[in-house]
A and B are shown apart, each in its own frame.
Chain A
Amino acid sequence: MTIHQSISAAVAIAATDLKLLLRDKLDAFFTFVFPLIFAIFFGWVFGGAGGGETGKIELGIVQLDKSASATAFADDLAKLDGFAATRFDDEAAAKDKIRKGELVACVVIPEDFNAKFEGLFATGTGPTVRGYVDPSRRGEAGLLEGRLTELAFKGMTRTFTNTESMKKQLAKARESIEKSPETDPSRKFVFNTFLTGIEGLLADNARRAAQAPGSEGATTGGLGAGMENFRPVRIELEQLQQQRTGPTNSYEVSLPQGIVWGLMGCVTAFVGTLAVDRQRGTLVRLMCSPLSTSTIIAGKSLAGFVSCMAVQWLLIGVFAVAFKVRVPEPLMLLLATTCASLGFVGLMMFLAVMGRASDGSGGMGRAVVLVLAMIGGGTIPVFIMPKIMQTISGISPFSWAVRAVEGATWRSMSLTELLWPCGVLLAIGAVGFTLGAMMFRTHARTH
């Protein structure tokens, strides 16, 4: 057989195993559906354990100016749809929360907010609202910027449609012009005439507003429409480097748990598949074909690898989209899931050849894998286990898969840090695969 034919045969074996997995309703359920249900259920049960309201963007508000306009702005900000706002007195505390990943962003309403706002007409410069954002949440940052602009305009409209507020603005403008030494008298005259005209217009608007049914009296009216394209508030967003130490929502914790159960489903399904192959005689047929044992092992392993990757990314995809689980570095997560899959392919191969009969290896495989999954973080997350259990969990390949996935998600490990759990997984895979393949070669020829 040519190399191409061997690859084609290995792919055929893998495709068959995957087809069999999907057509076996029980195996398919425990491999793909159950982990999803489990992880969603536990994410829901532990909801809020990591802080923050699920499904909303966690926003901090620091109001340094206690004026009415600043308070109104902060109140509007707190009521924004899709945001869960928390107020802070201290800007540093809010920034710290972002660094820890507990807030997506925070908005600082500066001390001169009102003063700058009232002087807007005279100076042409409105207040500057500072914002700080988590760089991994750029989408939410963009949304926040848009909503802030909207709120600023709303505040501006509120000010300029208020006659008294507008009169104050005009008086400040008139005073500023009078005091300006650079402006010549003829220009001062023109400006004063213009401002008088505006005051007349304001008075007329106030009078009409007072006559209108349901009006709030003479304080409303102002200049009104025509201000839509004006941007009265400058928004400066700054990205803060993260220093996360914990998950920001409960689904970030339950995702690795789901992955544990998904990997467990894959292992038990494929251990069973190989055992059934042996019992049914399909393995004999494979061995009678012109394929080398390596090609058969490669086909079986490929099926296991694909199923492990599929279940992990199915969970990651669902949790990222539906539950806002962060994937700050997709390539790191790809590395983690690949290493986990390779590790578990080795485990599959080893367990599959341990028992000779379907019931033997299937039953034994399930028992071993269940224990390993439980101590590896399948039921209780490893990081909340007692210290002794955390140490014991080190013998479980599942706990290393959890560490790798957590490292690439909410733990935000560096590549160097991630190499440790990934390395352990690869070592488990290599040892399991080598032992399994050796035993497979021996057993297959002495069936």
Chain B
Amino acid sequence: MSEKIRVLLAKPGLDGHDRGIKVIATAFRDAGFEVIYTGLRQTPEMIVNAAIQEDVDAVGVSILSGAHMTLFPAIKRLLVDRKAGHIILFGGGIIPEEDVKALEAQGIDKLFTPGATTEETVAFVRKAVAGRKDNEKIM
């Protein structure tokens, strides 16, 4: 498998705190991923459109504004509606533990909270994408 994993990184909502997503973007790039960064102020529709057009393996979303309970489920719902539910959806931000559990129960693959390392984030996506591709082969 020499093909690069493609990951879309996105900032939804009005939140402008982009330190985290930029650090993550650089870490993914350094780890050999193909990184597409949407920039700020994306609606869930814009993010899902970009994910489908760019044919990505994973979408990473950063939210530090507290709007995570609205935005993550909206993105997940749109991915499923657009037959792109196989795309790994992960994220990070200021998200209380109980909200992490609730969101992961709604199908968000993984949420990282303050203190998570870039290495574990990269490792997660690598493994999740590989796992999904294996599944597809079996099917």
Q: Does A associate with B in a complex?
A: no
Q: Which residues of B contact A (CB under 8 A)?
A: none
